[in-house]
Structure 1
Amino acid sequence: MQRSSYRYLVVDVFADRPGAGNPLGVVLDAADWDSMRMQAFAAWTNLSETVYFLPPTTLDASYRIRIFTPRQELPFAGHPSVGAAWVSLETGLVSDTDRLVQECAAGRLPVRVVGTGPQRMITLRAPRARPVGIEPPPQALRAVLASLPTAGLQAALWNNGPSWWLMELEDDAAVRGLAPDLAAIAALTQATAAVGLAVFGRTPAGADHDLAVRAFCPADNIPEDPVTGSVNACIAAALDAADALPGHDGRYIASQGRELGRDGRVALQVDADGEVWIGGHVQGIIDGRATW
């Protein structure tokens, strides 16, 4: 028999203070929820993602989650993964430790933990990103490119669980001032089975971050996502492949969400094996119960 009341949290991910990052809905102990129920609740929350905790299926996993947008399930997403790791520790679901293993549809992903509480830094290894070949470019891509001041890397579709279109713009000012054509972006993402489109631009020397990033998912009823871990991991992989990483020693900071009144920060690292790690802080906002 299904229970009707479940512990439900909302946390703010990639945020050094409440309200600065990307909200994440979290349902604990969702072992008796089926896919339709999860999708319906995720659509109702209207958050960019909602995660559900389930018993792990392997002995080496610390916990297991499923990740849903309002429209579909994702094998991996960055801010839900960072947020879920934080929740697993803060709620006592797992013992306090500096190493975790997250099980999700994209596989088992290692997690590093430093600190405690709101200052706890969660860093997770993203699934390896790869370019998705689409030739020739669809008409929908040409329609999007016509309105963007692109520069640097050529526009490309990358996948690290979800698929994202990545487009480098002239600089951070071009990213900040962009008025996106959401209808054209929706057409492009639907035509190519992508979750969304991300633009990024480099900042001047001396700034407290290296890239400005924005991500748009209008086909998922998310016109602009505040802070997106999987996008930033894909961007890092694309820049690494082109030997064009900013920062030093494969490490840099991305800023995302300012255009939505947020100020999310994602710490990126590309290690010696070419693996991308994404990190950030998490703030607890709501801890209650959901009846569904």
Structure 2
Amino acid sequence: MTDTPPHPLSHSYAVVDVFNGTAFKGNAVGVVFDADNLSDAEMLSFTRWTNLSEAVFVLTATDPLADYRLRIFSSLHELDFAGHPTLGACHAWLEKTGHQALRDYVQQCGVGLVTLRRSVEGLAFRAPPLIRSGLIDASLLERVSSGLRLQAVGARLVSAQWVDNGAGWLALMIDDRDKLLALKPDFAQLDGLAIGVLAPWRSPPCDGEVDFELRAFIAGDSLPEDPATGSLAAGIAQWFAQTGQAPSSYTFSQGTALDRPCRIRVSTMADGIWIGGATKTLIRGQVQFPGSVATRG
């Protein structure tokens, strides 16, 4: 019995778990290949249907320096950049194309070109430049602190910063990991914001397997808390590199509150800050987009 060929309107599809090597414990991303013929509306509709934090669409690169082009969607809108989709898409693309070399690869996306490195430790991406940094306006910081309900858990705000590299993140550090894990945000107060909150894993930090606990909140999204967020980790790493709040290599824990214990590795090297973690394909198949060819001739 021969295999049935793919439907002419179907696309190869994979779901990759990122930042945890144990199946179903990482942050999953849907990866659709050969997506040049899909419209913005189809991409957004598909992403919402998956109920994943993001889905990505692999297209032909338009920059000669890139290996492929990536469009990244959340349930709300398209993102210029996101971390776990970047790692998951590269993992799936390497599997699909058969590339095995331990070398650098280049992704084209909304923030330009992002370099990924495949090594014996796995995949990592070089943190793209921040498009917004610096202090957070006092009135906004008051709104965020209120919406996070910091006072309700007795949390003390240590510092705060914009760490936006294309996903809109701002980040707050508080004093205690247990208080961080106890947060129950009022998302109505945080509408339109992407907020990362972190705390030292222990005091002092950076003396064990994990150095910081991290949570990421996106009010209005179908998944208002993200299990693991590479773009946020990258932005915080650039903040820490400027202030000396962490050593050259360290690890974030994220997803603890969701029973998705993820690990995000940060390594500062001569050629940049690299964000890495485990990647594992869990689903391979085909997805059909009705009319995706017919509507475009």
Q: Calculate the TM-score normalised by the size of structure 1.
A: 0.87
Deviation, structure 1 residue 272:
4.5
CA–CA separation in structure 2 for the residues paired with 1:133 and 1:96: 42
Q: Which runs of 5+ in 1 are unaligned?
A: none
Question: How many Å separate the matches in 2 of 1:55 and 1:282?
Answer: 23
Taking the TM superposition and a 5 Å limit, the aligned residue runs for 1:77-88 are 77-88=82-93
Once residues 148 and 187 of structure 2 are traced to their aligned partners in structure 1, the CA distance between those partners, rounded to angstroms, is: 12
Structure 1 distance, partners of 2:157, 2:145, is 15
Q: Which residue of 2 aligns with 1:199?
A: 197
* Aligned partner of residue 15 in structure 1, secondary structure: coil
Q: Deviations along 1:176-205, whole A, 9 cap, x unmatched?
A: 22222222222xxx2xxx4x1111011226
Q: Which of these two proteins has the greater Rg computed from alpha carbons?
A: 2
Corresponding residue number in structure 1 for 2:81: 76
Root mean square deviation, CA, Å: 2.1
Over residues 50-108 of structure 1, what are the superposed CA-to-partner deviations in whole Å (9 max), with x where a residue is unaligned? 00000011222111110000110001000000111111111116564421111111111
The amino acid that maps onto 2:199 is G
Q: Which residue of 2 aligns with 1:143?
A: 146
Q: Map Cα deviations across residues 218-251 of structure 1 (whole Å, 9 max, x no partner).
A: 2222221000001111111222222211xx4x11
Check the 8 A contact 1:251/1:269 in 2, yes or no.
Answer: yes
- Mapping of 1:147-158 within 5 angstroms? 147-148=150-151, 149-153=155-159, 155-158=160-163
Distance verdict in 2 for CA 1:216–1:283, change over 3 Å: same
**Is residue 2:46 matched to residue 1:48?**
no
1:132–1:159 Cα contact (<8 Å) kept: no
Taking a change above 3 Å as real, the CA distance of residues 214 and 142 of structure 1, as seen in their structure-2 partners, is closer
Structure 1 CA distance for aligned equivalents of residues 8 and 143 of structure 2: 45
CA distance in 1, matches of 2:208, 2:244: 21
Percent identity among equivalent residues? 34
Structure-to-structure mapping, 1:8-23, within 5 angstroms:
8-23=13-28
Instruction: Determine the C-alpha separation between the residues in 2 that align with 1:164 and 1:290.
Output: 31
Query: Which amino acid in structure 2 is aligned with residue 267 of structure 1?
Result: R
| Structure 2 residue identity aligned to 1:169 | I
2:48 partner amino acid:
A
Q: Where does the alignment leave 5 or more consecutive residues of structure 2 unmatched?
A: 1-6, 290-297
Contact 1:201 1:213 in 2 (8 A): yes
Q: 1:174 aligns with which of 161, 179, 186?
A: 179
- Structure-2-length-normalised TM-score: 0.86
